[in-house]
Amino acid sequence: MIISASTDYREAARRRLPPFLFHYIDGGAYAEHTLRRNVSDLSDVELRQRVLKNMSDLSINTQLWDDKLSMPVVLAPVGLSGMYARRGEVQAARAAAEKGISYTMSTVSVCPIEEVTPEIDRPMWFQLYVLKDRGFMKNVLDRAVAAGVKTLVFTVDMPVPGARYRDAHSGMSGPNAELRRYWQSVTHPRWAFDVGLNGKPHDLGNVSKYLGKPTGLADYIGWLGANFDQSISWKDLEWIREFWKGPMIIKGILDPDDAKDAVTFGADGIVVSNHGGRQLDGVLSSARALPAIADAVKGDIKILADSGIRSGLDVVRMLALGADAVMIGRAFVYALATAGEEGVLNLLNLFEKEMRVAMTLTGAKSISDISSDLLVKAMRQL
Ligand code: FNR
């Protein structure tokens, strides 16, 4: 068993949330091999311990384009966050802003863009899926610009939804889903009161604003399912590249050739990611995919990585494997579900402490000191 603050928050979230929501967060595709390997491959990364290097003036801040980050961590886009905590997107964004890092809002958030941005004193990042309804894409991008968003995260590893069998078992989908969700909600009264009753509207805020009518979980499955676009190619992204003036990041890269294509396309960054093991089971863990991608494009484009990061030590490991910064998904969502804004802030503070310990004991005084030199030699190419 891997012990970290996020493990504790995971167990607390399991107790608090109705099972259909806990398993929606916690689960992955098919038999969840990639989901498990994301965590286990990362924890297998061995670092060189270095001593007596006067580590008193350690700094962990960094910069991605115009965004100054107090540490190289960004909150990943996580759909339906407002179902895990009351107005969850607002709470997560506030915790990130308080910590001095960026929050990425998902296309399929409960709170709309306009509800979150006035609550924070730094620009939010926004994530967009490639959807058949280009009218929606244009509408939501215009609104993001109007709300001061500078950085766009374009998620490309979801031309089809991954098959997540846990959802059918848990009541998220499958037979009698609505009845089962209702029963699970009333038997989890802390969640039912805090989020179920007082966290309304449970809309897909960004979609509702566009469609001009309320939406809900059925629309999440229905509207989104009908809107995945399998015909998408790099060419379809060109209009966005022309339209979007700020940094554009391609999320969901797992292969060095795709990373090179992202450079050719003119992207500003990539996120090495398998969507937290939620798409194709059996693909490489991010920790295994990252070194070859860094060999191919490091320096040409900013490299972010996610999938499997559960602690500040894992952040240092991902950076040693070649990332410039990381995104965290489940780790912050478990904390959000357990204790809202305060939980996320506490988790981020623990991440910082863990990063400082790891850097002190590997002799890395700044983020730019973290490189493959920190890896035990046999680990340099996982
Ligand atoms: C996600 N992820 C995701 N990604 C995205 O681009 N848009 C989205 O709406 C969502 N929604 C979402 C919901 C939930 C419940 C999870 C757990 C994940 C993927 C997310 O951004 C990120 O890539 C992974 O969560 C990273 O893996 P870890 O940190 O969760 O292991």
Helix (H, G, I), strand (E, B) or coil at 69: strand
Question: At 221, is the pLDDT very low, low, confident or very high (cuts 50, 70, 90)?
Answer: confident
Indicate which residue's Cα is closest to atom 2 of ligand 1. 78
102 HSE (CA, 13 A, CB side): 30
Q: Distances from the Cα of 159 to the Cαs of 98, 155, 228, 235, in angstroms?
A: 34, 9, 5, 15
- The CA 56 to ligand 1 mean position distance, Å, reads 36
Among 23, 108, 275, the mutation site with the greatest number of ligand 1 atoms within 8 A of its Cβ is: 275
User: Residue 155 CA: which ligand 1 atom is closest?
Assistant: 6
Among 36, 39, 78, the mutation site with the greatest number of ligand 1 atoms within 8 A of its Cβ is: 78
Ligand 1 contact via 127 beta carbon (within 6 Å): yes
Ligand 1 contact via 104 beta carbon (within 6 Å): no
Predicted local confidence at residue 328, as pLDDT: 98
% of the chain exceeding 90 in pLDDT: 86
Predicted local confidence at residue 382, as pLDDT: 59
Q: Is the predicted pLDDT of residue 377 greater than 90, yes or no?
A: no
Rounded to whole angstroms, the Cα distance separating 37 from 122 reads 34
Contact by Cβ (8 Å): 91, 336: yes
User: Residue 104 CA: which ligand 1 atom is closest?
Assistant: 21
Predicted local confidence at residue 227, as pLDDT: 87
Predicted local confidence at residue 176, as pLDDT: 94
Higher-confidence position of 132 and 34: 34
Question: At 2, is the pLDDT very low, low, confident or very high (cuts 50, 70, 90)?
Answer: low
User: Residue 271 CA: which ligand 1 atom is closest?
Assistant: 23
Higher-confidence position of 58 and 162: 58
Ligand 1 contact via 27 beta carbon (within 6 Å): no
Q: Is the predicted pLDDT of residue 271 greater than 60, yes or no?
A: yes
Q: Is the predicted pLDDT of residue 200 greater than 70, yes or no?
A: yes
Predicted local confidence at residue 241, as pLDDT: 87
Question: At 171, is the pLDDT very low, low, confident or very high (cuts 50, 70, 90)?
Answer: very high
- The CA 14 to ligand 1 mean position distance, Å, reads 18
Rounded to whole angstroms, the Cα distance separating 366 from 369 reads 5
% of the chain exceeding 70 in pLDDT: 98
* Catalytic (active site) residue 23: no
The whole-model pTM stands at 0.97
Rounded to whole angstroms, the Cα distance separating 161 from 314 reads 28
Helix (H) or strand (E) holding 63: strand 62-64
Ligand 1 contact via 164 beta carbon (within 6 Å): no
Rounded to whole angstroms, the Cα distance separating 276 from 45 reads 18
Rounded to whole angstroms, the Cα distance separating 326 from 317 reads 10
Predicted local confidence at residue 219, as pLDDT: 76
Contact by Cβ (8 Å): 322, 291: yes
Average pLDDT over residues 265-294: 98
Rounded to whole angstroms, the Cα distance separating 70 from 97 reads 10
Which range scores top for mean pLDDT: 188-197, 235-244, 370-379? 188-197
Q: In sequence order, what are the beta bridge partners of 325? A: 304
Q: Is the predicted pLDDT of residue 1 greater than 80, yes or no?
A: no
Question: At 290, is the pLDDT very low, low, confident or very high (cuts 50, 70, 90)?
Answer: very high
Indicate which residue's Cα is closest to atom 9 of ligand 1. 79
- The CA 78 to ligand 1 mean position distance, Å, reads 5
- The CA 299 to ligand 1 mean position distance, Å, reads 26
Q: Which of 33, 188, 202, 275 is catalytic?
A: 275
Contact by Cβ (8 Å): 309, 337: no
Q: Is the predicted pLDDT of residue 380 greater than 70, yes or no?
A: no
Mean pLDDT of the chain: 95
pLDDT digits (tens, 9 = 90+) for 66-107: 999 999 999 999 999 999 999 999 999 999 999 999 999 999
Average pLDDT over residues 356-374: 98
Predicted local confidence at residue 379, as pLDDT: 60
Ligand 1 contact via 328 beta carbon (within 6 Å): yes
- Tokens 């058949």, residue? 132
Contact by Cβ (8 Å): 90, 62: no
Predicted local confidence at residue 75, as pLDDT: 99
User: Residue 273 CA: which ligand 1 atom is closest?
Assistant: 23
